[in-house]
Amino acid sequence: MKIAACMLFGLLLAGCAAGPLNRDAPAVYDFGPQRDEATTAKTIRASLLLNGVAAPAWLDTPAIVYRLVYQDAARHNVYATSRWATAPAALLTQRLRTRLAAASEGGVLSAADGARADYALRIDLDEFSQVFDAADRSRGVVIARASLVNTARRTLVAQKNFAVERNATGMDAAGGVRALSAAGGELVDAVVVWTATAIAQDKK
């Protein structure tokens, strides 16, 4: 009986310890399931070198950033109980690499592969935040710059700034995540189309 009582007391203590920890655990988000790319058309007629998407230090963290532009547009705020699974730049890199690999005839390489690609694609992320224009109105804003280099000639083939916005349906972290995930996906699609077009023009 004493042994059973001790075991029960121990389980109760463990339950009490686990409860607050579970309640205080932050909500962790990514962009959601990757869509099936098996039927993607091979529109990029070359191989690509893609390193990680570059981001400024304030964006190179898992924090979900929001701005209250109706109070102070220059101030960065972060949600205390919600975060990304990894930095947004890393999430974008993963999604972009998958899309480019599906669309490229020559595949996608990284610097670690030690092989030469026909073109190098660089993405610089300048903004990835939930912007509140009012207390009851916000949007996901993604701003990035893409640069495409012909590695044989070592020349800049093309460069373009991208700005994508999606309205948020909720004025909280979950609403911001949905808007930013949609805007990030739209950015990736636009970069893939732009890359294919720029390479086709360079090969003429």
Residue 10: domain span = 2-31+38-202
What integer pLDDT is reported at residue 39 of this predicted model?
62
Helix (H) or strand (E) holding 63: strand 63-68
Beta-bridge mates of residue 143: 127, 163
**pLDDT, tens digit, 9 for 90 and up, residues 80-103:** 999 999 999 999 999 999 999 999
Q: Are 174 and 84 in contact (CB under 8 A)?
A: no
pLDDT class of 38 with cuts at 50, 70, 90:
low
| Position 9, amino acid | F
| Length of the chain, in residues | 204
Strands 48-50 and 108-109, by their bridges, are: parallel
User: Is residue 104 predicted with pLDDT exceeding 50?
Assistant: yes
Distance between CA 194 and CA 187 in Å, rounded? 10
The torsion defined by the Cα of 94, 78, 165 and 132, in degrees rounded to 10, comes to: 170
Q: What total of structural domains would you count in the chain? A: 1
**pLDDT, tens digit, 9 for 90 and up, residues 143-159:** 999 999 999 999 999 99
User: Is residue 21 predicted with pLDDT exceeding 60?
Assistant: no
Domain of 161: which CATH number? 3.40.50.10610
Distance between CA 27 and CA 44 in Å, rounded? 37
